[in-house]
Structure formats: structure tokens, C-alpha cells
Amino acid sequence: MKNFLKENWLTRMSKKCGISKKDLKKIMKRDKLCVYCHKKMILPRKGTKQRNWMTIEHLNDKKPWNIPWAIALCCGSCNSSRRMSFKKWFKTYYCIKSNINAKTVAAPVKAYMRKIARMNPKERAKYVLKNY
């Protein structure tokens, strides 16, 4: 049953996000815990709390959503609370009470933030024009 749920979820998310199942499987293998609060996540299914569901987290604030290095997995609670840039989100009550900040997030999020932060304003503008 668990493999069926996993395959079903992978198929749906692959279609929805425009990312290959192969890449999603790699991300699932890497992100076993929420990349923000580090709690164990479960595959979405009826009768379970959505806050514990495994969800796709788009680290980009804008499109494109299908870049594998800009996708991670997080719990439903963290995903629903992050509707802004990391800089703003880390200052919210949710992050403060959950001890979520640039130092405590998982490696994929840190790598994403470093990649974007290393770009000078011209490179960032070029990147945004090219990718958004």
C-alpha cells in the first residue's frame, strides 16, 4: 500500500510541477524530513493531518517551478506559512517559535540561498530575466 501511495503521489506531483519522477525520487531520498522544521512527513492521504503531509516546496519565489535544485520537500505547516521571501519569512512568529532561520534550515535550502546570494545585482537581474 505504501509503495502505491508513493508512486501515486510521485505521478501527481510530477505532472503538477513539471518535474520528472526521477528527479522527484532523488529529492524524496534526500529530504526525508521537512527542510525547515525537520519533522517527519507522511504521504498525503485522507484521515491524516495536512500539517504533517509531505509537500513540494518551490524555493523560487517566482516561476520557473521545475528546476530540481530549487525544489525541496517540506511539511504542510511550513509550506502553507511560507508565502514570502526567506528574509521576511524568517522574521515571522511561525519561524521564531519553530526556530527556523538561515542557520537551521536543511542543506538544500542553504545551498539555494547561497547560490542566489552570490550573484551580483547584474547577474541576478540576468538570471531573473532568463528564468522568469
pLDDT digits (tens, 9 = 90+) for 15-30: 888 888 899 999 999 9
Residue ranges in 2-120 assigned as alpha helix (H): 2-17, 21-30, 76-81, 86-89, 93-98, 107-117
pLDDT at position 129 is 57
Give mean pLDDT in consecutive 10-residue pieces for the chain, a chain of 132 residues: 72 84 92 96 84 90 75 95 90 97 96 80 65 49
pLDDT at 130: 62
| pTM score of the predicted model | 0.83
3-state secondary structure at position 6: helix
| pLDDT at res. 132 | 45
Please state the domain extents for the chain: 2-131
